[in-house]
Amino acid sequence: MVRNRLATSRREGRVEFLGEQDGPAERELKAMLEVELKRFSSVQRAYLARVGFAPDAEISIALSIAPSAANRKEIVEVVHRTFSSLFETAAHLDILFPDEQQEIDLQRVCRSFL
């Protein structure tokens, strides 16, 4: 069942990758996303990590998809639908398309599940 939640877009000045997000629920999400993301030939790697966006911001969970894809909107819709089928309405997942340097930083603390 997909719940009605809106996907919103925003830009962040800085992203700090803190570590991999993993647990039973996250492994289930990763398995489902692996199937869905393989449909997009442009997507080669995906990471589920804890991130910080600003010094005072709460830690968030983000799915980072690399390399940056031309069909971002469709990918975001698929991820949103998959995430919504597993987690309660109050939960959210940030989706990032990291640049090359950000992915290098991400790889230091997290492994790709795709």
- The CATH number assigned to the domain holding 68 equals 3.30.70
Residue with tokens 């966006």: 53
Q: Which domain holds residue 54?
A: 26-107
Q: How does pLDDT run across 72-112, given as a tens digit for each residue?
A: 999 999 999 999 999 877 788 999 999 999 999 999 999 99
Residue count (the chain): 114
Helix axes 72-86, 24-37, angle to 10 degrees: 150
Q: State the Cα–Cα distance between residues 99 and 32, nearest whole angstrom.
A: 24
Count the neighbouring beta carbons within 10 Å of the beta carbon of residue 69.
18
Residue 103 resides in a domain: yes
pTM, to two decimals: 0.85
What single letter denotes the amino acid at residue 86? L
The structural domain count of the chain equals 1
SS3 of 48, please?
strand
